[in-house]
Chains A and B, each alone.
Chain A
Amino acid sequence: TQLLEQSPQFLSIQEGENLTVYCNSSSVFSSLQWYRQEPGEGPVLLVTVVTGGEVKKLKRLTFQFGDARKDSSLHITAAQPGDTGLYLCAGVGQAGTALIFGKGTTLSVSS
């Protein structure tokens, strides 16, 4: 069974700080996705990365896919209270079947 380990599980920071969330596995993924979820709502897709070493930027968010396609990171620059939420990584295995989710990182940004 493929697993995705996210760290840290919880993160509480002040507005303006930078942070990085990690998503690691011992398995290779054909693609990896990052979602953000607010309480009581469905996850919303932020980005999909498919190429080893790929870096994508979405305003203050930077996503990186590891060279070996086993890990990914999400870096937020100058966090704002609106960034508060649950961040989830999800990967599709090389067999291209199930989409597996990590357990998530709960981010709280206070002003």
Chain B
Amino acid sequence: ETGVTQSPTHLIKTRGQQVTLRCSSQSGHNTVSWYQQALGQGPQFIFQYYREEENGRGNFPPRFSGLQFPNYSSELNVNALELDDSALYLCASSVDGNTIYFGEGSWLTVV
């Protein structure tokens, strides 16, 4: 049990639509990051938030955006969905950087 909860677990969207994925972290976990894991690949870093500010971003276009809230929850938003966005999206949180806790992910299928 990592204390990181993600929702929804599975969803199907149509190309061009927008999606919001949610993550709830343990109290005190002031850093949250999001990863995209395509089928058969390792996770890829999307971005990181620290105290509600984005402070790191991977090689993802601006249509990938996020929010972090004071209650240790966060969101990943993806606009103008493309077929290649189909993947497992993982949320990870940490309080001290020594241990990063991952949620079980949200499976997104774009058709």
Report if A and B associate in a common complex.
no
Residues of B at the A interface (CB closer than 8 Å) are none
